[in-house]
Structure 1
Amino acid sequence: MKYKNALEYIDSLEEFSYKFGLGRIKNFLTYLGCPQDAARTVHVAGTNGKGSVCAFITSILRSAGYKTGLYISPHITSLRERIQVNGSEISKKEVSAFVDKYRSAASSFQLTYFEFITAMAFWYFKKCNTDYNVLETGLGGRLDATNIVKRPVVSVITNVSFDHTKILGASIEKIAFEKAGIIKKNVPVVTAAEGKALSVIKKIAADKKCRICAAAQLDGNVIVPLRGAHQIVNAGTAVSVARVLGIAERQIKSGIENVRFAGRFDVRIIKYRGSDVAIIFDGAHNPAASQALSAALKEYLRGEKICFVFGVLADKHFKKIVKNLSDRVSMVVVAKPDNPRGAACQTICREFAFYMSRDKIYSGKSVSHALVKAIKQLDARKICITGSFYTVSEGLQCLKNMSEWI
C-alpha cells in the first residue's frame, strides 16, 4: 500500500468523531497482542502544556540513555509527527504497513481516527523495543484512548483550565475530574495544577493511595530553550517526573536544555527583500494558552506590538482568546483555517474591532494568503501566527513553499 492511500484510509475515520469509551481500543489492542503493556509509560494529561511537557520528559529520558517513544497530538505538518522514537518520526513505510495489515480489523472494531493512530503508536513502540513511552492524552483523560495503559510509572496532569467544555464539562472541577481519570492506584502523580483543580486531583490521588508531587522550581543553572514563563513551569513539571523516575540531575539538565518543539513560541527568521522577517508560530487555542502567549510576547518583544495572522476554530472560546491577545496586536490579518470547524473571517474581524481600529484589521483567503499579505502588502517584519495548531500548520507549510511567493 502506498503512503498516500494509507493516509486516505486514516482520514476516512473522521478526525473529529468523538466516541468515548475504552472498549473498542481495548479489544483491538488485545487483537494486536497488547503492545501497550510492553514498555514503561509516562502518561500526560492537562489543558495546556501537555505536548511541551512530553517533549521535555522525552528529551530527559533520551539524555539518560533510554530508548523513548513519544506520542503527541495534534500534528502540525505531518501525521508522522505524532509517533516518534528517539526523535525520529515513524516512517511512511511503517504507517503504510500498519494500515495495510490492520485496516480490515480496525474497521470491524469500529475504531475512531484517534483510536487507530493510538493503536499504531503502541504497535510501533513495541516493534522498536522502547524502554519508555511518553503519551499525551488526546482529549480529557478518563475515557481517552491513551488511558488503556493499566499501570503507568507516573501520571502527569499539567494544569486545568477551560477548553472542550461541551465534552468535559463547564466547570473547573468537572474538567479536573476528567483529567484526573488517568490516575491509577499507587502510581505517583505530578501536577502543576492549582486551586479547585488541584483539590480535585489531590482527593482522587488520596483515594487511590498515590503520592503527589508539584512541579519543581528551577534554579538559574538550567537554561530552558522554549520561551515564556509557562515553559518554565512545564520544564519544572518534567523535572519532577524525572526525579520520581530516579534520573540523575546532570541528565535532567541536559535533557531540558536540548529540547526542541515546533509550534510553541517557535521563532523563524526569513529574508524578504534584504530584510529579516521574524515569524513567531504558536498554537494558542484557548484562553489560558492565549494569556501565556501574550505574556511571552510582551517579554520577548519588550512591549512592542506586532502584526498577527490569526485563525481559530469556531467551537473555541475565541472571544476570550482575541481579548487576551489584543494588547499585543498592532494590526491583524484574519484567515479561516482549512478545517470544517474554522471560524469565519467576518466573525473574528468583528471581535478584533472591539479592541482596535477597523483600518488595522484585514482578512486573507487562507492562512498562507494572510501571511504573504502581511509580509508583502503590509510590510510587516515581526509577525505572530496563532489561534490554532491548524493555523500554525498552514503557516509553516507556506514557509516551506517560500520560493513560490518571494
Structure 2
Amino acid sequence: MSIELSLDRIRLLASHLPPYSRPTVHVAGTNGKGSITCMLSSIFATSGLTVGRFNSPHLVSVEDSILINEQSISPEEYSLSRAAVESADQAHGTEVSNFEMLTLVALQVFEKLRVDVVVIEVGMGGRLDATNYIPDESILLSALTTVDLDHQAFLGNTVELIAKEKASIARKNKPFVLGIQKYAAVENVVRSVVEQTGAHFIATHSAQRRAWDDAIDGPLPPTFSLDAESFRPPLAQPITFTSPAFPSSLAALLYLNGSHQVENLSLVLTIVSTIMMHPLCASRMPSGFSERISENIKTGIRKATWRGRLSFHRLTVSSPNPRAITVLVDGAHNRASSETLAPYVSNIITILDGNPQVRILRLTYILALSHSPPETPKDTLSPLFASQSSTHLSIQTKVAAVRFTSPDGMPWVKSVPPSEIAAAVHESVSGVGLWVASDEGKIQGQLESALE
C-alpha cells in the first residue's frame, strides 16, 4: 500500500482554487463517523438548511461520497468539478493523491452551491488527513467518535497514539466534542491535545433509552418479522436527551439499528446543542437556526438512514427457484465494528426466540474482507461466531466467502482471498456449512452465486 500522509500537496493545490468558506462540522474517529454525519445532515436538512456531506469511501459510485441534502450529486456535477481541480493540479504540478483530489472536488461543489453547512468525515486519522487542510475560519466544530485499533501501520499501535492523531483536528478557539469512549485512556490524551491547541473541550452528554410511550411515539408497531414477503423492521429505539439548548427533555425515536447508535446519537445531539449555544458557532448559522432546529430535530432523527450499516434489504434469488430473501447488510471492517455487529445479531436471535411461531432460523453470513494488516481475517471475524444460545430456535448457520472489486478511485483497497476467509472461519467456529468462491478469476457473479 502506498499512502503518503501530508497536507503539503493539498494546501498548495487549494491555493490555486476558489477559497473554501462554508461553515463545517469535522468528524474523526475509528467507528461511527458515517452514522454521526448522516444523523447530523438529516437534522440540518429537515430544519430547512442546505447541507453538504462528504463521506468516504463511497458505497456504490464515487458520487455517493458527495451529497447535497442527502442526495448524491449528479455525475455531470461531479465531472465538472473534478475537471476543474484536475486542470489546476496539472497546471501547477501538485500531483495530489486520489483522496486529496476527491476531497477538493467535494469542497469545490459545496462552495459553488453556497450550502449553509457542511458535514465532513475524516478519511483516515486526522492530523494529516486531507480533510484537515480546511481553513480554521471555516470550522464550526470538531468531533471525535469512538477510538479503537485500526490502520495501525499509519496511526500507531496503541489507542493512545491513535487518539492523539485523530484529536489533532482540533482548532484554536473552536469547540471540540468527544464522543463516548470504550477506553478511559482516550479522554486524557484528547483533553491534552485539545488544551494544547487552544480549543474548547466538551464531553458528550448521554442520551437515555426509555420505554415506548403511545402518547409521544404513537401506537406500538407490529412485531418484528424477518420473512421477506411480510418483513417488518425492528422496533425504533425511543430515547430522551437533556440539554440547556432545549427547553424540556427531547423525546425522539431513533430508527438506525443497533444499541451503539444511541451512543452515536448522544454525540450528534451534543454537537447540535453546542452549535446552538456556542457564540462562535451560532454566529455562522442562518437566521433563526436554533428555533428551526428545536422545531424539527425529532423529525430529523427519525428520518436518518445510513445504507450499508445494519440496514435490511429484500433481494430476489433467481435459482434454483426464484424467491425473496431478507438480507442484513453491515460494513463492519475491523474487530471493534464486528464486536458491535455480533450482539445485534444475537439480539435478533433473542427477539425471534421469544416468538413461538418461529422455530427455525437459517442464518447465513456472506463475508468479504479488505486487506488491512496487521489485523488478520480471524481478528475481524472471530467476534461474529461467539456462542449464540437459544431456548426454542433451531439455528442453522452457513458461511459464504467472496471477493469484492476495489472501490472506484481507490485501487489500494484490496480484497482478502476467500480461501483465507474460509481458514479464519474454520479457526473460529465448527459445524457450519461453508461455500468458498475462487481466489482467482472474475469477481462478478460471486455474490449472486453465494446468495443462490
Which of 64, 78, 81 is the equivalent residue of 2:64? 81
Q: CA deviation at 1:228?
A: 0.3
Write the letter of the residue equivalent to 1:46: G
Query: In the alignment, does 2:186 pair up with 1:197?
Result: yes
2:270, 2:132 → 1: CA distance?
A: 21
Write the letter of the residue equivalent to 1:79: V
Q: Is the 8 A contact 1:336 1:367 kept in 2?
A: yes
2:127, 2:275 → 1: CA distance?
A: 23
Q: Is the 8 A contact 1:239 1:252 kept in 2?
A: no
Write the letter of the residue equivalent to 1:350: A
Q: Is the 8 A contact 1:336 1:345 kept in 2?
A: yes
Q: Kindly tell me: are residues 235 and 359 of structure 1, through their superposed partners in 2, closer, same or farther at Cα, counting changes over 3 Å?
A: closer
Unaligned runs of 5+ in 2: 209-238, 241-250, 277-289, 354-360, 389-395, 407-412
Q: CA deviation at 1:92?
A: 1.1
Q: CA deviation at 1:51?
A: 0.7
1:359, 1:22 → 2: CA distance?
A: 48
Query: In the alignment, does 2:201 pair up with 1:211?
Result: yes
Q: Is the 8 A contact 2:378 2:427 kept in 1?
A: no
For residues 131-187 of structure 1, give each alpha carbon's deviation from its aligned partner in whole angstroms, at most 9, with x where no partner exists.
111010000000011111233111110110000001000001100000001011121
Q: Is the 8 A contact 1:191 1:212 kept in 2?
A: yes
> 1:373: which partner in 2?
449
2:258, 2:362 → 1: CA distance?
A: 17
> 1:287: which partner in 2?
335
Q: CA deviation at 1:368?
A: 5.9
1:81, 1:25 → 2: CA distance?
A: 22
1:162, 1:364 → 2: CA distance?
A: 29
> 1:53: which partner in 2?
36
1:30, 1:291 → 2: CA distance?
A: 43
2:271, 2:67 → 1: CA distance?
A: 20
Q: Is the 8 A contact 2:170 2:199 kept in 1?
A: no
SS of the counterpart of 1:320?
helix
Unaligned runs of 5+ in 1: 1-15, 377-406
Q: CA deviation at 1:101?
A: 3.1
Which of 301, 307, 325 is the equivalent residue of 1:256? 301
Q: Kindly tell me: are residues 106 and 300 of structure 1, through their superposed partners in 2, closer, same or farther at Cα, counting changes over 3 Å?
A: farther
Which of 186, 210, 216 is the equivalent residue of 2:173? 186
Q: Kindly tell me: are residues 314 and 298 of structure 1, through their superposed partners in 2, closer, same or farther at Cα, counting changes over 3 Å?
A: same
2:178, 2:367 → 1: CA distance?
A: 31
> 1:311: which partner in 2?
368
The worse-fitting range, judged by mean Cα deviation, of 235-244 and 264-273 is 264-273
Query: In the alignment, does 2:381 pair up with 1:322?
Result: yes
Q: Is the 8 A contact 1:309 1:370 kept in 2?
A: no
Q: Kindly tell me: are residues 58 and 34 of structure 1, through their superposed partners in 2, closer, same or farther at Cα, counting changes over 3 Å?
A: same
Which of 130, 136, 156 is the equivalent residue of 2:143? 156
> 1:337: which partner in 2?
404
SS of the counterpart of 1:19?
coil
> What percentage of residue pairs aligned between the two structures are identical?
27
Q: CA deviation at 1:67?
A: 0.9
> 1:144: which partner in 2?
129
> 1:354: which partner in 2?
427
2:79, 2:298 → 1: CA distance?
A: 37
For residues 325-344 of structure 1, give each alpha carbon's deviation from its aligned partner in whole angstroms, at most 9, with x where no partner exists.
11368111111222462211
Q: Is the 8 A contact 1:186 1:211 kept in 2?
A: no
Q: CA deviation at 1:20?
A: 1.2
1:300, 1:358 → 2: CA distance?
A: 21
> 1:380: which partner in 2?
none
Which of 131, 152, 161 is the equivalent residue of 2:116? 131
1:215, 1:263 → 2: CA distance?
A: 27
2:332, 2:447 → 1: CA distance?
A: 17
Q: CA deviation at 1:359?
A: 5.9
1:209, 1:101 → 2: CA distance?
A: 34
Q: Is the 8 A contact 1:81 1:90 kept in 2?
A: yes
SS of the counterpart of 1:32?
coil
SS of the counterpart of 1:138?
coil
1:28, 1:34 → 2: CA distance?
A: 11
1:312, 1:125 → 2: CA distance?
A: 33
Q: Kindly tell me: are residues 274 and 96 of structure 1, through their superposed partners in 2, closer, same or farther at Cα, counting changes over 3 Å?
A: closer
Q: CA deviation at 1:242?
A: 0.7
1:100, 1:374 → 2: CA distance?
A: 39
Q: Is the 8 A contact 2:17 2:88 kept in 1?
A: no
The worse-fitting range, judged by mean Cα deviation, of 195-204 and 312-321 is 312-321
Which of 26, 31, 43 is the equivalent residue of 1:43? 26
SS of the counterpart of 1:111?
coil
1:361, 1:283 → 2: CA distance?
A: 21
Correspondences of 1:267-286 after superposition (within 5 Å): 267-272=312-317, 273=321, 275-286=323-334
> 1:265: which partner in 2?
310
RMSD of aligned alpha carbons: 2.1
Q: Kindly tell me: are residues 344 and 215 of structure 1, through their superposed partners in 2, closer, same or farther at Cα, counting changes over 3 Å?
A: farther
Q: Kindly tell me: are residues 319 and 359 of structure 1, through their superposed partners in 2, closer, same or farther at Cα, counting changes over 3 Å?
A: closer
> 2:268: which partner in 1?
238
Q: Kindly tell me: are residues 97 and 74 of structure 1, through their superposed partners in 2, closer, same or farther at Cα, counting changes over 3 Å?
A: same
With structure 2 as the length reference, what TM-score do the two structures score? 0.75
Q: CA deviation at 1:324?
A: 0.6
Write the letter of the residue equivalent to 2:334: N
2:367, 2:443 → 1: CA distance?
A: 8
Q: Which structure has the larger Rg over C-alpha atoms?
A: 2
> 1:101: which partner in 2?
84
> 2:391: which partner in 1?
none
Q: Is the 8 A contact 1:160 1:193 kept in 2?
A: no
With structure 1 as the length reference, what TM-score do the two structures score? 0.83
> 1:404: which partner in 2?
none
Q: Kindly tell me: are residues 17 and 83 of structure 1, through their superposed partners in 2, closer, same or farther at Cα, counting changes over 3 Å?
A: farther
